[in-house]
Structure 1
Amino acid sequence: MTNRTPPSPAVAEGLREVPAAALELLNLPLLDGLRDGQVRGRHCLWCRRGPLTSETAIDLGEQMSPLSSDSDSSRMRWYPRACRRCIRTRAYRALLDHVHPGPCEPCENAAPGCEIGRALNRLLREGRRR
């Protein structure tokens, strides 16, 4: 038996994974245009606001991306995070544009919608929290 302490709600929120298809709609930037703090998750991926804390950041999970737009570029592991304002804006745009693979019948006809729609709605809600 172990005496593990359950994670706090703020930490637990960041541990949920965002589906790759939803991340694709958020248009993560290429690594070659980012600063070290953005790659390591200390600063917002888009606006460079920082330093981010567990209360102010939305964790986008571990990513594997090419180091540059070069097709022969090696891949690097990185840990993007975003400020709440940027994630709210990006998720709202993706939902509003209904790009996912739109028009999406499950999202239009059923309350829970598809996996991508649910993920974007969750990111939008998390971006609104203070």
Structure 2
Amino acid sequence: MGLAEEQVCGRRCVWCAASLNNGTAIDLGAREVDTRGGGARWFPRACRPCAHKHFGDAHQAHRDNCTQCSTTLPWCTTGQRLFAAAMKADPKARR
């Protein structure tokens, strides 16, 4: 199942399709997609609860498979960035 146009354009969360505005959206960065030999650019964004969950899940998966992150502190750069992204997206955090 593909994404709706509003999800591709960043007006809705890429995961749950919740409506977003500039104050509530977490920008996931512009993406390049090869569509049958031609490039397309899209701009995914997410709601805070989905971004927090998915970044947190990605951080845990990374820690489970990264030698440095699974055994010592400080975490590697990827581990640190995933953790920071999850904390930044935390819907319970004070703004």
- TM-score when normalising by structure 2: 0.80
What fraction of aligned residue pairs are identical, expressed as a percent? 35
Cα deviation, 1:80-119, whole Å, max 9, x if unaligned, reads 00001111111121222x2x385212223122x1222112
Please state how far the C-alpha of 1:46 moved relative to its aligned partner: 0.8
**Structure 2: which amino acid aligns with 1:77?**
R
Choose which of 74, 79, 85 in structure 1 pairs with 2:43. 79
Quick one: which of 9, 32, 44 aligns to 1:64? Answer: 32
Task: Establish whether residue 91 from structure 1 lines up as the match of residue 55 from structure 2.
Answer: yes
In the alignment, structure 1 residue 120 sits paired with structure 2 residue 75? no
Q: Is residue 2:9 matched to residue 1:34?
A: no
In the superposition, the TM-score normalised over structure 1's length comes to: 0.61
Give 1:54 shift: 2.5
CA root-mean-square deviation = 2.1
Name structure 2 gaps, 5 residues minimum. none
